[in-house]
Amino acid sequence: MAVLTKPSLEQVYLPTPPHRPRSYFSGIPVVDLSVTDSDALLVNACEEFGFFKVTNHGVPKELIARLEEEAIKFFSLSQMEKERYGPANPFGYGSRTIGGNGDVGWLEYLLLEINSESISHSSLDFLKEPRARSFCSALNEYVESMRKLASEVLELMAKGLRIEPRNIFSKVVMDEESDSVLRLNHYPPCPLLQGLNGSMTGLGEHTDPQLISVLRSNNTSGLEISLRDGTWVSVLPDAESFFINVGDSLQVLTNGRFRSVKHRVAANGYESRVSMVYFGGPPSGERLAPLPLLLGEGEQSMYREFTWCEYKRCAYKSRLSDNRLQQFEM
Ligand code: GA4
């Protein structure tokens, strides 16, 4: 990664040290997908945290390991070579800068667009090269299993909410035109933190704009979520499981019943963190508004209707930590 010449201190340093977590939050809900009646637990998790972990997810370990290896191979290229595939705008290779409005973090990443079920090669020229053949096949297989997993979880949410059809949420993400994204992140160890009790932002606090995010990381800590009362807690990493985030779009569809979770990643002084995140988004023209089915008697809609395209435009004008939904509130 290139050396940051002008670090923006107010962004890079987290206000709440220390950050080699001494303890992990023990209250993260765990949803075992092999158990048939997990839907109630899952709805509860979406209401209380907007975040939970899934086990027995059926995604082959080998596939996860293959994609992680390919990502590491890419991040191990020389800085000069990697920069040829950037800057991320919004897709491609990014280092240190996030979005286009001044956010920075201690990470490098690949942002890849998903076009009708597979990774679009135009989002990263590297993928057009013959040496990227095994990377492409790992990416496409991984995306396919993420779509399935996201869809299974979204159907369980509908089941738990007792709404029909069961695919009311999942069809949005499974649509051929769905605007979904895959993000591969590498948070290198941060030498500035070694031997110190300070903390640095790997990726600043934000909520995800889409419906659902499916995150897998290696066993390096860093992920933190904000609880209802605003307390930040560290999540114990678990390379065998996936973590699910409720995104802004799902908060809107459920009229605020499900919580789009605020989260961030703290840099680590000693170990590299590698994460792979699938963001399941709606088709560009999809209209988003609270589902009438979910509005109780006399309950007011909290948001006006808008299209995903409109929301994305607004997201790309914002800073990471902005409350993007505010301007759509009634
Ligand atoms: C957050 C969720 C996804 O990582 C992402 C991010 C995107 C980016 O990194 O380009 C954004 C961010 C995310 C929300 C606000 C805007 C856009 C950076 C940023 C400042 C890929 C996405 O879809 O929205």
pLDDT category at 20 given cuts 50, 70, 90 is: low
Ligand 1 within 6 A of 270 CB? Answer: no
Cα–Cα distance, 125 to 114 (Å, whole number): 14
CA of 317 to the centre of ligand 1 (A): 10
Ligand 1 within 6 A of 261 CB? Answer: no
3-state SS of 268-306 is CCCCCEEEEEEEECCECCCEECCCHHHCCCCCCCCECCE
pLDDT at 8: 41
* Dihedral sign, Cα of residue 24, residue 218, residue 151, residue 287: positive
Ligand 1 within 6 A of 183 CB? Answer: yes
Ligand 1 within 6 A of 103 CB? Answer: yes
Tokens read off for 259: 């919580």
Q: Which of 8, 101, 112, 183 is the best mutation target for the ligand 1 pocket, counting ligand atoms within 8 Å of the beta carbon and taking the most?
A: 183
Q: Which of 89, 101, 181, 249 is the best mutation target for the ligand 1 pocket, counting ligand atoms within 8 Å of the beta carbon and taking the most?
A: 181
In three-state secondary structure terms, 175 is coil
Tokens read off for 248: 């802004």
CA of 99 to the centre of ligand 1 (A): 6
Report the alpha-carbon angle 129-135-137, nearest 5.
105
pLDDT category at 21 given cuts 50, 70, 90 is: low
Percentage of the chain exceeding pLDDT 90: 87
CA of 204 to the centre of ligand 1 (A): 11
Q: Which long-range contacts (CB under 8 A, 24 or more apart) does 32-37 make?
A: 32/56, 33/57, 33/58, 33/152, 33/153, 33/156
pLDDT at 10 over 70: no
β-sheet bridge partners, residue 275: 185, 217
pLDDT at 22: 65
pLDDT in tens, 116-174: 879 999 999 999 999 999 999 999 999 999 999 999 999 999 999 999 999 999 999 99
Pairing of strands 51-55, 30-32: parallel
CA of 196 to the centre of ligand 1 (A): 30
Q: Residue 170 belongs to what H/E stretch?
A: helix 170-174
Residues 211-233, mean pLDDT to the nearest whole number: 97
What Rg value do the Cα atoms of the chain yield, rounded? 19
CA of 164 to the centre of ligand 1 (A): 31
Nearest residue by C-alpha to atom 12 in ligand 1: 320
Catalytic residue positions, numbered: 273
Ligand 1 within 6 A of 206 CB? Answer: yes
Residues 215-238, mean pLDDT to the nearest whole number: 97
What does pLDDT average to over the chain?
Answer: 93
Nearest residue by C-alpha to atom 1 in ligand 1: 208
Q: pTM for the complete prediction?
A: 0.94
Which residues make Cβ contacts (< 8 Å) with residue 169, sequence separation at least 6? 154, 155, 157, 158, 211, 250, 253
